[in-house]
Structure 1
C-alpha cells in the first residue's frame, strides 16, 4: 500500500458518516507504518467519537482540567499496534496494546501520549487518568457498546469536578452516549467498507 490511501482515509472529507479528520501527526504515523485501511477507518471513527466526548466535557465541565489534545491523539492512535498484530483487527487479542506503545515510542511520540495504546483496554487499572477513561469510552461507544463500570468511573470524575449530583452527571452522560451510540451503524458500515489488508 502506498501512503496516499492511508492519508486519504485519515484526512479526506466524509459525509456518511461525517467524521473529523485524524490529527496530521497520527495520519503520518499510520502511513509510515503502512496501516491497514480498516484500521485507519476504525481510528478515524473512534477519534471522532472522542472529539464529541471532549466537546461535551468542555461545554458542561469547563473547570475540569484535562488534556483535550492528548485524548484526541490517544483515540487516533490507540490501536496502532494492530499494524503489527493484524489478526486482532478481526479477532480478539491484546498483543497490540504494548506493541502499539512501543511503536509510538520508537517513532518519537512521548510516553505521555504513547500510553493510550497500552491503557485503552485497561481502564479499570489503578492510576487510570480521566484522559485514559475518555479514550477507553470512545473505543466502546463508537459501536454503541455500553460498559457500565467504565461509565461509572467517568460519571464519578465528572461529579467530583463539577459539583453536580452524581445522578445528574449520570443522566447527562447517558444522554450523550445514547446520542453518539445512535450513529454506530453508519460508523460500523464506514469501517467495514475498507479491507483488513491492502490490495
Structure 2
C-alpha cells in the first residue's frame, strides 16, 4: 500500500507544478517502498526531462531520439537508491548498478533499465543522445552546469543539424538557463519529503 506522503511526492498537486511520474513508475516505486524524497527527486528530474525533450522536438525536428525512453530513464535513474539509502543524502555510485539490476528484475527491458547505470557515466563513447539527456536533466534540475556533459549534447546537436557548435551551444545554454531558474522551487519540493518512509 502506497503511503499518502509517497503518493503526494509522485503525483500530488504541488507548487511548483511538476508533471506526475508515469503510472508504470509509480507502481514500481510503490512496490519497492521508495522513500518519498527519492520519489520527489525522480519527479523533479522527470519534469525537467520533459522540458528538454519538448525543446529538442520543437527546435530540432530532424533529430531522432526515443522520447519515451528519455522520460522513463529520468523517472527511474536513481531507483537503486531504494537499496542504497545512504546515497540519498550522501555520495556514492552503488545505486547505479543496483538500479539497473532492480529494473531488470522487475521486467523492464535492458534498453530502458540502462539509464540507471548510464546517468552518471556520459563520457563512454557508446552513450546515446537519450542517455545524455537523462544525465543533463539529472544535473540541470538543481541548476548544476556540467560543461563536459553539455559539450557532448552540443556536439550531438551540431552533428545532427550541420550547424556550428557555437550556435548549438547558445541555443542549449538559453534553455538550460531558463530551466535552471526554477531550481530553488524544485529543491524545496524535494527537501519537503522525508528520506524514510
- Shorter chain as denominator, the TM-score bin is over 0.9
Partner of 2:13: 13
Aligned residues, how many?
A: 196
State the shift of 1:131 in Å.
0.2
Q: Which runs of 5+ in 1 are unaligned?
A: none
1:133-187, Cα deviation, whole Å (9 max, x unpaired): 0000000000000000000000000111122221111000000000000101000
Q: How far apart, CA to CA, are the structure 2 residues paired with 1:195 and 1:170?
A: 37
Contact residue 155 and residue 166 of structure 1 kept, 8 A = yes
Q: How far apart, CA to CA, are the structure 2 residues paired with 1:91 and 1:161?
A: 37
1:16-36, Cα deviation, whole Å (9 max, x unpaired): 211011111011100000000
Partner of 1:85: 84
Q: How far apart, CA to CA, are the structure 2 residues paired with 1:151 and 1:196?
A: 30
State the secondary structure of the residue aligned to 1:3.
Answer: coil
Partner of 2:73: 74
1:109-134, Cα deviation, whole Å (9 max, x unpaired): 00000000000010111201000000
Q: Are residues 1:155 and 2:132 paired? A: no
Query: Which deviates the most, 173-182 or 5-14?
Result: 5-14
Which residues of 2 match residues 9-158 of structure 1 at below 5 A?
Answer: 9-14=9-14, 16-158=15-157
Contact residue 7 and residue 28 of structure 1 kept, 8 A = no
- Poorly superposed stretches of 4+, deviation over 4 Å: none
Q: How far apart, CA to CA, are the structure 1 residues paired with 2:66 and 2:25?
A: 17
Partner of 2:173: 174
1:45-103, Cα deviation, whole Å (9 max, x unpaired): 00000000000000010111100000000000000000000000000000000000000
Query: Which deviates the most, 78-87 or 161-170?
Result: 161-170
Q: How far apart, CA to CA, are the structure 1 residues paired with 2:8 and 2:107?
A: 23
What TM-score do you get using the length of structure 1 for normalisation?
0.96
Q: How far apart, CA to CA, are the structure 2 residues paired with 1:112 and 1:13?
A: 31
Q: Which runs of 5+ in 2 are unaligned?
A: none
RMSD: 0.9
Q: How far apart, CA to CA, are the structure 1 residues paired with 2:54 and 2:21?
A: 16
